[in-house]
Amino acid sequence: MARPQHQQFDKQKSVAENRRARFDYHIEDTFEAGIALTGTEVKSLRFGEGSIAESYAEVRNGECWLINSNIPEFSHGNRFNHEPKRPRKLLLHQREIDRLQGAVERKGMTLVPLSIYFNSKGKAKVELALARGKQAADKRQTIKERDWKREQARIMRDHAR
């Protein structure tokens, strides 16, 4: 039986990407979540500023929160500026939150943000992954596969000449 295709989200403008997440974790499932932001946070993101490199998500009191994401203060925000590393609420359906909480508690999985982007309607979204941490041997295997694919491409390119 063929593997199901990964669901593609409507990413118009990608703002921040956690490139290390696919190397450090086995991605089991992905979710698209809205994110509750203030006005100056949205303006900072529209300028392409923001980082989710060391961030993660957790479920507290039936709500999902994005922890440790960095959206720098807006340069023209004066006294209405936001706190750069504050926890931000993720907007998910209750069924999705329950599913995520069950996976984290029972299976020992982690909620990792993969990217922050704006969809075609201009709304800020977070691509959230349900992931399992990789061991050192798995990471070495990933590096081997990546190097082998690069070598294959080089051989094919040289062979075509």
- Tokens for 65, please give them: 């929160």
pLDDT at 6: 53
Please list the ranges in the chain whose pLDDT falls under 70: 1-8
Distances (CA, A) of 96 to 8, 93, 131: 18, 5, 15
Query: Rounded to whole angstroms, how far apart are CA atoms 132 and 135?
Result: 10
Predicted model pTM: 0.76
pLDDT at 2: 53
pLDDT at 35: 92
Instruction: Give the count of beta carbons closer than 10 Å to the beta carbon of residue 118.
Output: 18
Buried-state track 86-112, b at ≥16 Cβ within 10 A, e below 16: eebebbbeeebbeebbebbeeeebbbb
pLDDT at 29: 87
- The distance from CA 38 to its chain's CA centroid, rounded to whole angstroms, is 20
pLDDT at 45: 86
Query: Rounded to whole angstroms, how far apart are CA atoms 152 and 150?
Result: 5
Helix ranges (DSSP H) in the chain: 21-24, 39-46, 94-107, 136-160
Domain spans of the chain, in order of start: 13-134
CB 72 within 8 A of CB 126: no
| Amino acid at residue number 31 | F
Rg from Cα positions in the chain:
18
Topology, domain 13-134: Small Protein B; Chain: A; (2.40.280)
